[in-house]
């Protein structure tokens, strides 16, 4: 948030954070869940969609294909679609 405040002060006073995207999220682990809860408790705009980690991203880059074409039914693809839907209702 300090970096955002600096950019806002130096370059764009109208800059607003609409939402925080949580990525590399491991919902089974306690620490990531706790950190997200702390962000929410601080009143920060955390988006509902969470992006987990997967080797599929690297594979799709290696194959020069967007993830949605490389692995259309993969969990990570569905997470990105959910994020897109949340940002662009």
For the entire predicted model, the pTM comes to 0.81
Residue 23 has phi, psi (to 5 degrees) of -125, 170
Residue 27 in this model has a pLDDT that exceeds 90: no
- The CB density around residue 55, as the number of other CB atoms within 10 Å, is 8
77, exposed or middle or buried, with CB in 10 Å at 0-12, 13-18, 19+? buried
pLDDT digits 0-9 by tens, 37-88: 999 999 999 999 999 999 999 999 999 999 999 999 999 999 999 999 999 9
């Amino acid at each position: 948030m300090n970096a955002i405040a600096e950019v806002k002060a130096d370059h764009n006073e109208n800059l607003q954070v609409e939402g925080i995207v949580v990525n590399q999220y491991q919902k089974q682990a306690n620490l990531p869940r706790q950190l997200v809860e702390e962000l929410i408790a601080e009143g920060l705009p955390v988006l509902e969609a969470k992006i987990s980690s997967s080797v599929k991203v690297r594979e799709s880059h290696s194959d020069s294909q967007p993830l949605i074409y490389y692995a259309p039914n993969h969990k990570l693809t569905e997470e990105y679609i959910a994020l897109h839907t949340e940002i662009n209702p």
